Structure 1
Amino acid sequence: MDDYPEMLAIVRALARYLRANPNSSDTAEGIATWWFREHSVVDGRALMDALDWMRERGLLEMLSANSTGDRYRCIASAEQLDGVLSELSRRRLT
């Protein structure tokens, strides 16, 4: 994971966003557009990898919807998100 700084930076940004907006839910496209307004471009592959990384750790869940696409929703507690942020703060991110 340390050799994938783009994905780690997105995980960090997602954890911060979800810490401030715990009831957020959106598609990957919506996340790239609305949750990352400050960034001009979010790498789509790195975003999907970050979403998968967070799902594998029980921080997000994916809700399938045929009409609107898969939606991602936070299921982590504030403490879990703080733990991710703490772990990532100890890693070197570009």
Structure 2
Amino acid sequence: MNVSASVAKIVGVLSCYLRQNPLASDTLVGIAQWWLKSDEVSLVDLAHALKQMEQAGVIEASNAADGQVRYRRTGLNAKVDEALDRFIADS
């Protein structure tokens, strides 16, 4: 995937958020509103950022009982922390 600068920035911000809030879980819109605290984030770029992080194995998507997809960290371990730290350094 060709990652644009805005997607790379979002990945970095999300990685910081997940390092500070390792039990966080939310929908695409919830992440834009609460994790990124921005109405100006492109939901398309955010979706690309989440996909990149999912492919790297640091987040997972799950279907909730209400039918919405929620995103969260894949685990609370050093391997995920190291991957998030690399994303932060690269942003």
Q: TM-score, normalised by structure 2?
A: 0.84
Count of matched residue positions in the alignment of Structure 1 and Structure 2: 86
1:36 corresponds in structure 2 to 36
Equivalent residue, structure 2, for 1:49: 48
2:85 is matched with which residue: 60, 64, 82?
82
Percent sequence identity is 36
Taking structure 1 as the reference length, the TM-score comes to: 0.82
Structure 1 residue runs of 5 or longer lacking an equivalent are 90-94
**1:79 offset after TM fit, Å?**
2.0
Equivalent positions of 1:4-83 (< 5 A) are 4-37=4-37, 39-65=38-64, 67-75=66-74, 77-83=80-86
| Structure 2, unpaired ranges of 5+ | none
Q: CA deviation at 1:29?
A: 0.8
Root-mean-square deviation (CA, aligned residues, Å) is: 1.6
